[in-house]
Amino acid sequence: SSVLLENNSPLLVSATDKDVGPNALVGYRLLNPNEPYFVVDFVTGAIRSRKPLDYEKMKEWIFYVQASDMGEPVRSSPIPAMVQVTVLDTNDQKPVFTKAKYDVDLILPTVP
C-alpha cells in the first residue's frame, strides 16, 4: 500500500542531477535493503509499505534512501535522505471490558 502524507498525497523522494542525458537520470534505493516494512520505487522515488502498519505495534520508522545517477561511473548522493514515517492512530480497536462478570451484593431497602 502507499505511504500517504497528511494531505493524502503519496510520499515521494526526489533528487536532481545537473548532468545531461543518461548521466542526469536518477534512481532511488533503500540503504537497508532488508527493510521489512518499506520499499522505494527505483524510477519514481515513491515509497510504499510492504505490509500493513499498525499504530498499536509501532508508531514510527526511520530509514534512509540514496539517489544515484545512471552515468558511468555511477555517482551517488553524498548524504542520503532520511525518511521518517509516523503512523497516526485510527479508530480500529473495540472497547473491551476489564472483567467478564461483575458481581454486586445489595442490602435492601436502599436509602436515597
Q: What CATH code is carried by the domain that includes residue 29?
A: 2.60.40.60
Strands 81-86 and 60-69, sheet pairing: antiparallel
Could you report the per-residue pLDDT of 41-70, keeping only the tens digit for each?
999 999 988 888 888 888 889 999 999 999
107 within some domain? no
pTM of model > 0.75: no
Q: Are the beta carbons of 28 and 75 closer than 8 angstroms? A: no
95 within some domain? no
CA dihedral angle for residue 63, residue 74, residue 27, residue 11, rounded to 10 degrees: 30
Q: Which residues are 69's β-sheet partners?
A: 26
Range of the domain at 72: 21-86
Q: What is the per-residue pLDDT for 5? A: 56
Assigned C-alpha cell, 64: 534512509
Could you report the per-residue pLDDT of 38-47, keeping only the tens digit for each?
999 999 999 9
What distance separates the 2 farthest-apart alpha carbons in the chain? 93
Number of domains in the chain: 1
The 3-state DSSP class for residue 38 equals: strand
Cα separation, 17 vs 78, whole angstroms = 13
7 within some domain? no
Assigned C-alpha cell, 50: 510492504
16 within some domain? no
